[in-house]
Amino acid sequence: MQKEQTFWNAVALVFFLGLCALSVVLIARYSATGPADLGFLDLALLGLGTFRLVHLLTYDKIFDFVRDSVLDRSGKKAPRGWRRFIYEFFECIWCTGMWSGLFTVTIYFLGTWGRFAVIVLAVAGLGSLIQVVSKRIAEGVP
């Protein structure tokens, strides 16, 4: 089983590197700005937007149907194969963080609508953080 999971991890790595290359090509060709032009506000928006997208993919109920679609027939995590790999991807905040970061950065550089989408995600992410902090304060947890 470990050998099979290593295979799926290698496939994902190659696919991710391909998407990184595609992202660089798209940004170089269609973006008026580049990574060197990013300021603190841009990085904050990208960070909060990525945070929110990761949370959406790994935890939010609205995305349950996607996570459930890769379960086996008994409703459990598949013991092996691509379904297990995809399910583990959605379980892992570090994995979804890398892919979400790549997506968020790419669309941010590709124009007004991409920036709009990232700003919406960032505002939602900031709202989520404020909610968590206020809940902790109300509970008296330091």
Query: Given this model, what pLDDT does residue 1 score?
Result: 66
Asked if residues 88 and 130 have their Cβ atoms less than 8 Å apart, the reply is no
- pLDDT reported for residue 14: 95
Angle at 83 between CA 79 and CA 88, to 5 degrees: 80
- pLDDT number for residue 141: 67
What total number of domains does the chain contain? 1
H helix count then E strand count, the chain: 6, 0
Query: Which domain range does residue 66 map to?
Result: 2-139
What is the per-residue pLDDT for 34? 84
d(CA 133, CA 50): 19
What are the 10-residue block averages of pLDDT along the chain, 142 residues in total?
Answer: 82 94 95 89 96 94 88 80 84 93 96 95 95 89 64
